[in-house]
């Protein structure tokens, strides 16, 4: 293992993707690890950019081939995972890997990469604010929204498994704090 990895995890809607996109735009030594998933693309998502969208059968075949660094069933019927080839591709390009993953995947990646990893947990100011953010997306049915909020409540218990916790109450402050954490880690 050559480079370092920076892992951003959070309950859905806490703002991790916004933080990751900001860092990728502001630093040229980072590259995004595109996760694989069996879920359907959301409006505007592109295969190979946002996710590698694959069938459940293909995903299960890759599990059998041990092609994943880590994987899990995040929501009922939806699998997500980190392909080993993604990490290798980024390190071969001489960059550090940035992950935008769910909380359990983030904990697993922190354990797998150990001292090579910086795990950052993005926390919403409250569950109510998180529910409002998810509702504003307009991408979820009321049932799915309830499922995500219930999952978020369980995921908040994992924040102690990460190297740092950022409460995303003021986005400008959160972005600056993320920049500082990443810079300090990469310079160490």
d(CA 74, CA 84): 19
CA-angle at 119, arms to 184 and 72, nearest 5°? 155
- For residue 93, give its domain range: 5-37+85-187
- The answer to whether position 109 is within a domain reads yes
- The answer to whether position 43 is within a domain reads no
- The answer to whether position 164 is within a domain reads yes
pLDDT one-digit tens code per residue, 86-102 = 999 999 999 999 999 88
- The answer to whether position 136 is within a domain reads yes
Q: Measuring CA to CA, which residue among 139, 82, 106 is closest to residue 16?
A: 106
Q: How many domains in the chain? A: 1
Mean pLDDT of 17-38: 96
- The answer to whether position 96 is within a domain reads yes
Tokens of 143: 């049932």
- The answer to whether position 134 is within a domain reads yes
List the CATH number of the domain containing 125.
Answer: 3.40.50.300
Q: Where does the pLDDT of residue 188 fall: very low under 50, low under 70, confident under 90, or very high at 90 and above?
A: confident
- The answer to whether position 61 is within a domain reads no
Q: Say if residues 51 and 45 touch (Cβ distance below 8 Å).
A: yes
- The answer to whether position 57 is within a domain reads no
pLDDT one-digit tens code per residue, 113-135 = 999 999 999 999 988 888 887 77
Task: Name the DSSP letter for residue 157.
Answer: G
């Amino acid at each position: 293992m050559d480079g370092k990895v920076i892992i951003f995890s959070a309950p859905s809607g806490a703002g991790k993707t916004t933080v990751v996109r900001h860092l990728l735009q502001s630093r040229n030594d980072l590259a995004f690890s595109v996760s694989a998933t069996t879920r359907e693309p959301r409006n505007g998502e592109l295969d190979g950019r946002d996710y590698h969208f694959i069938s459940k059968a293909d995903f299960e075949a890759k599990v059998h081939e041990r092609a994943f660094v880590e994987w899990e069933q995040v929501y009922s019927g939806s699998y997500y995972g980190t392909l080993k080839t993604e990490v290798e591709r980024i390190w071969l390009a001489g960059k550090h890997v940035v992950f935008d993953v769910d909380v359990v995947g983030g904990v697993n990646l922190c354990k797998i990469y150990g001292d090579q990893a910086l795990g950052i947990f993005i926390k919403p100011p409250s569950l109510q604010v998180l529910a409002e953010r998810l509702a504003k997306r307009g991408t979820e049915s009321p049932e799915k929204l309830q499922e995500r909020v219930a999952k978020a409540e369980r995921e908040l218990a994992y924040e102690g498994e990460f190297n740092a916790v950022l409460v995303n109450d003021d986005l400008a402050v959160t972005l600056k704090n993320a920049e500082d954490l990443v810079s300090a880690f990469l310079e160490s």
